[in-house]
Amino acid sequence: GPFTDVVTTNLKLRNPSDRKVCFKVKTTAPRRYCVRPNSGIIDPGSSVIVSVMLQPFDYDPNEKSKHKFMVQTTYAPPNITDMEAVWKEAKPDELMDSKLRCVFEMPNENDKLNDIDASKSAPVLNTSKQDGPMPKPHSVSLNDTETRKLVEECKRLQAEIMKLTDENRHLRDEGLRLRKVAHSDKSGSPTALALRDNGSNSLPSLLVVIAAIFIGFFLGKFIL
């Protein structure tokens, strides 16, 4: 114990005879144990290791263990092909068995102290100190890249705004000049009227373009 994990015990079966022996391992608690192999054949003078694995459970020291195992054996018939048929056809006086009682053992105080000393003597890595500079997280580099893109975009938009401002000033001056020409033109010719309409319509269109650029700039800033 403690029995919070799988506990494995090996059982060694030896055949001291000069004939092949069939074996089978049985238990009173088949759901609590995994036995590998639970049956097989042992050659004369040979042995086999059987692993008995106890599954994790809540151990109660006050509860008396009633788990038992039985190793059943019989001489193997010649030219054996079906193990199940061997056990079905075997006569009671041909069967040999050995019964085993399961005992649960908890570690004593000395074992606990040895485990504690082993854990203390184990090397502990100090992760607070580093030989080299700490690597920059990937997210930081991404933020720097986005910031550079935002600054470049702002510079480009500022240049566009300055360019459009100059064009707006030029068109405004041109509109004033055309209005003066229109007022000074007493003949009221179609040419003067056309120039007056073009000059008045250019200014609102340009203002709409500038407003759209400013809206796109602020929307792009918030999205980034």
pLDDT, tens only, 96-129: 999 999 988 887 755 555 555 545 444 444 444 4
pLDDT of residue 161: 80
Cα distance between residue 39 and residue 51, in whole Å: 11
Cα distance between residue 61 and residue 64, in whole Å: 8
pLDDT of residue 138: 44
Give the CATH superfamily of 7-101: Immunoglobulins (2.60.40.10)
pLDDT of residue 216: 61
Q: Which stretches of the chain score pLDDT less than 70?
A: 109-144, 146, 185-224
pLDDT of residue 97: 92
Contacts for 32-41: CB closer than 8 Å, 24+ residues apart: 32/57, 32/67, 33/67, 39/83, 41/76, 41/80
Cα of 156 vs its chain's centroid, Å:
43
The two tokens of residue 55 are: 């599954």
Determine phi and psi for 137, rounding to 5 degrees: -60, 155
Cα distance between residue 51 and residue 54, in whole Å: 10
pLDDT of residue 176: 81
Calculate the average pLDDT of the chain: 75
Percent of the chain with pLDDT over 90: 33
> Which residues of the chain form beta strands (DSSP E)?
7-14, 21-27, 33-36, 39-42, 47-54, 68-75, 96-101
